Chain A
Amino acid sequence: MRTSVLSAFQIAVTLALTAWMITGFTRLPGRWMRWKMFCRATFSIITLTGTKDGRTEPVNVYDHLSPGSFILGLPQLQAIVDYLVRSGRYDRIDGHGRVLSASGEQRVEVTGSRVVL
Chain B
Amino acid sequence: MWFFDSLASGFDHPTDPGRLQLFRIVFGAVVALRFALSLGQGGWSRFAPDSLSTHLAEQRLGPTRARWLAAAYRPALLVRIAAALALATGLAPRLALVVVLGGAAMELLYLKSPNAVRYTLLTGTCLLLAGDLGTGLRIDHDPSNANTWAKCLLVLVTTDIYWNSAWQKLRSPQFRSGLYLARWIHVYGTVRARLPYRRQYAVPGLVLRHAGNLTDRDVRLCA
Q: Which chain A residues numbered 53 to 98 have a C-beta less than 8 Å away from chain B? A: 60, 62-64, 66-70, 76, 79-80, 82-83, 86-87
Q: CB distance B187 to A70 under 8 Å? A: yes
Question: A14, A24, A43: which contacts B156 (Cβ < 8 A)?
Answer: A14
Question: A-B pairs with CB below 8 Å: how many?
Answer: 118
B153: chain A residues at CB < 8 Å are 14, 17
A47 CB to nearest B CB, Å: 9
Residue in contact with B223 in the complex, picked from A7, A63, A102, CB distance below 8 Å: A102
**In the assembly, what is the distance between CA of A53 and CA of B41, in Å?**
32
Chain A residue at minimal CB-CB distance from B121: A32
Question: With A and B bound together, what is the CA distance between A16 and B111 in angstroms?
Answer: 27
Question: If A7-B10, A83-B52 touch, does A41 touch B183 (CB 8 Å cutoff)?
Answer: yes
Query: Could you tell me the distance between the alpha carbons of A7 and B196 in the complex, rounded to whole angstroms?
Result: 53
Give CA–CA (A100, B152) in the complex, Å: 42
Within 8 A of A (CB), among B1-42: 7, 10-12, 41-42
Please tell me which one of the listed residues B112, B149, B183 contacts residue A100 in the complex, with CB atoms under 8 A apart. Answer: B183
B142 at the interface (CB under 8 A from A): no
Interface centre among B115, B220, B222 (most CB of A within 10 A): B115
**B11: A residues at CB distance < 8 A:** 7, 10-11
Inter-subunit contact A37/B190 (CB<8 Å): no
Is B167 located at the chain interface by the 8 A CB criterion?
A: yes
Chain A residues near B7 (CB-CB < 8 A): 14
* B152 x A102 contact (CB < 8 A): no
Q: Are A69 and B112 in contact (CB under 8 A)?
A: yes
Q: What range describes how many residues of B lie at the interface?
A: 35 or more
Contacting residues of chain B (40-81) with chain A, CB-CB under 8 angstroms: 41-43, 50, 52, 55-56, 59
A62 to B190, CA, bound (A): 12
Interface string of A33-48 (1 = CB under 8 A from B): 1111111110101000
- Would you give the shortest CB distance from A113 to chain B, in whole angstroms? 14
> A40 with B180: in contact, given A11-B10, A64-B52, A69-B112 (CB under 8 Å)?
yes
State how many angstroms separate the Cβ of B168 from the closest Cβ of chain A: 5
Distance (whole angstroms) from the CB of A34 to the closest CB of chain B: 7
Which residues does chain B contribute within 8 Å of A36, judged by CB atoms? 165, 168, 172
A62-B161 contact given A35-B168, A41-B180, CB 8 Å threshold: no
CB distance from B59 to the nearest CB of A (A): 7
Chain A residue at smallest Cβ distance from B192: A70
Interchain CB contact under 8 A, B164 and A34? yes
- What is the CA–CA distance of A67 and B113 in the complex, to the nearest angstrom? 12
Q: How far is the CB of A57 from chain B (nearest CB, A)?
A: 14
**Interface pair B160/A33, CB less than 8 Å apart:** yes
Contact B52 A80 (CB under 8 A): yes
A79 touches B196 (CB 8 A): no
Enumerate chain B interface residues (CB-CB to A < 8 A).
7, 10-12, 41-43, 50, 52, 55-56, 59, 111-113, 115, 118, 149, 152-153, 156-157, 160-161, 164-165, 167-169, 171-175, 180-181, 183-184, 186-188, 190-191, 194-197, 200, 219-220, 222-223
**What are some 12 contacts across the A-B interface (CB < 8 A)?**
A10-B10, A24-B160, A45-B191, A62-B196, A66-B111, A68-B41, A70-B191, A79-B56, A82-B55, A100-B183, A102-B173, A105-B220
